[in-house]
Chains A and B, each alone.
Chain A
Amino acid sequence: MQSNNTQAILEVRALTKRYGPTLALSNVDLTLPKGKIIGLLGPNGSGKTTLLKIVAGLLTSTSGFVLVDGQPIGEGTKSLISYLPERTYLPDWMTVEDCLDYFVDFYADFDLQRAREMLSRLNVPANKRMKQLSKGTREKMQLVLVMSRRAKLYLLDEPIGGVDPATRDYILDTIIGNYDNEATILISTHLIADVEKVLDEFLFLKEGVITMHDTTDNVRETQGKSLDELFREVFRC
């Protein structure tokens, strides 16, 4: 199936995902352009992780379809997507060097030089095994691996959730500074105030339904609010 929209990196049509009786995503339609940083925002259990996992190819949808750069999810789209899950997934026994070797082997777009520079800047020791690193350092390690690829679509699930504010700033600077203008970054996060400054667009996801998709500039100009304020208003308990 080929996309009609050559500018879209991600097209989602009538996407539904059920976990038994629970509806995680309900008839989601979505088109994301190339070259944008987009926030996927919503409260816990709204379906953010489910959406990212379906696009990454880790979950099978109940119905609907997803196209990445015009291709259905499969081996081809996995070489275009750089996915950062919300959990640590690197094997405990691997050293930092082993992880770099792994990514060099499987991803033609992996920039080893860039990865080494970022690891050095974040003080991640190259000879340590994953089990010897703190949870925060492992998360940094994963982010470095993911952002060192020249991918077309980055899916980042809570990339700054587990790190201190200083590192958070560095990570966000890294995200902005290292991605290609043609690439799109979809960031899922609760820390809206921190990421707001880097977002071009945002999506509000509530109970598996996209309730708003707009540009952050438009929110500021038309509503006179920050994205954080709008989020608190929309999702007030």
Chain B
Amino acid sequence: MLGKLMKHDFRALSRTLFPLQIGILGGGLVATILSALSIRLSEASWAGANGSNLLKGLILAVSVTSAVLIGIAIMASLFVTLVLICYHFYRSFLGDEGYLTFTLPVSTSNLLWSKLLTGMFWVLINSVVVCIALLIYAVFGTTTSTLINIDVLQALRQFFTQILPEMSKYISIPVMAAEVIVVGIVGLAAQLLQVYFAIIVGGQVAKKHRVLAAIGMYLLINMGVGIVSAIFMSFVTLGESVSQFALNSAQEAGTFMSTIFGWYGVLFVGLSALFFLVSRAILKKNLNLQ
């Protein structure tokens, strides 16, 4: 049943999120073209082309402003993606669609898993699309004469051929990479479950203005999570005896980072389990669709 739930959640989310990703790529291309155009116009102005400096200045201003605005919109798309995912959750669970959702012969756990996994999938897709858009911009939109900015490609090549091998002398790159990916994924799961939890609790405490209640609950829960995380990590760093790590060598700094990353992973898993289990308990024991 989880597969079927995910199929339908994916279909529902794709309606808005797929066009959004296309828009990000399209916006990225427009920003790239405008940026490349403005850089070339700027160069031409400085070269002292006569007669049409006012027009060039105007085009330049419009191009730069448009490119900056599109850039901001692309970066804001992560927030928009999150909002759309949360709105889908809200409608499916607390809106009229809840009458459909909660009469399905599926477990509450599966309902939550489906929302979590499809939400995570779209956040990851959005992150990849934003990275692609930024890469296109960096490679094609920041050069004055050639089509491709060789410096960007060289910097990327240098990262993989020089910096990573250098780092690998002190830390295990595959382990670190795996750690970053795993902690990133559980961190994303914890964040989404925290928002879902806030929506569910907001729906419990308010009969009207549930969205506002959910936002209020999120801020409250976020404060609580911040305090718990700070206390947890303080104990962890004390427990790990930071003093043992003199941190006077890059290798020790790497080991320390890896350990702290691991504990962040533990924290995120704990928070995810807590939000998931309490959300499930509320939906099972105290569901009250009005």
Contact = CB atoms under 8 A, between A and B. Distances in A.
**A interacts with B:** yes
Interface residues of A, number: 24
Contacts, number: 59
B104 A60 contact: no
The 8 closest A-B pairs by CB, nearest first: A79-B105, A89-B99, A78-B105, A58-B289, A105-B4, A89-B96, A85-B99, A89-B100
B280 to A, nearest CB: 13
Contacts of B102: 57-58
Interface string B107-119: 1000000000000
A104 to B, nearest CB: 10
Contacts of B1: 106
B248 interface: no
A76 to B, nearest CB: 8
Contact of B288 (A60, A78, A88, A90): A60
Given A87-B99, A106-B1, 9 more contacts: A57-B102, A59-B289, A60-B288, A75-B105, A75-B106, A83-B99, A89-B99, A93-B15, A105-B7
Contact of B287 (A60, A75, A79, A93): A60
Interface of A: 53, 56-60, 75-76, 78-79, 81, 83, 85, 87-91, 93, 98, 102, 105-107
B103 interface: yes
A78 B110 CA distance: 15
B121 to A, nearest CB: 19
B286 interface: yes
Contact of B289 (A53, A79, A93): A53
Interface of B: 1, 4, 7-8, 11-12, 15, 91, 96-100, 102-107, 285-289
Contacts of B285: 60
Contacts of A79: 105
Nearest to B287: A60
A161 to B, nearest CB: 16
Contacts of B8: 102, 105
Contacts of B99: 58, 83, 85, 87, 89
Contacts of A56: 103
A91 B12 CA distance: 9
A78 B287 contact: no
